[in-house]
Copies of this chain bind each other. A is one copy, B any other.
Amino acid sequence: MAAKKACNECLSTVKPVRDALDVINGKWKLPIIISVTTGNERFTDIQESVPGITPKVLAKELKDLEQHRLIKRVVVEDYPVKILYKPEPYADTLSPIIYALKDWGVNHRKKIFEKE
């Protein structure tokens, strides 16, 4: 029954991890959230702050993040109209994930450069 015990223990972690990955999966979602939560509000600013992203991809990812209630698109009725992207409070709940990934990434890069 060792296998079954491992299997249950494993599933209780695998399932929620997959739920999380379904939301933040991909190359761009977390970088965009980081950009927006550090104060970038305008489309062009976000685009410039996330190296390599194209406007097509950014537009699509912003829509996804809006649907998941992680950011909101705010239309400011000035002349000219301004569009701002703001983090929703729910985006803050991602910070443990972001910082865990950041720390690991910093260390990983060190490890790679040491070895080679």
Contacts and interface: CB of A to CB of B under 8 A. Distances in A.
A31 B21 CA distance: 10
Given A6-B39, A30-B21, A94 B104 contact: yes
A105 interface: yes
Contact of A3 (B7, B45, B103): B45
Given A10-B40, A40-B10, A20 B101 contact: yes
A40 B108 contact: no
Q: How many copies does the complex hold?
A: 2
A38 B3 CA distance: 10
Contacts of A18: 27, 31, 105
A116 interface: no
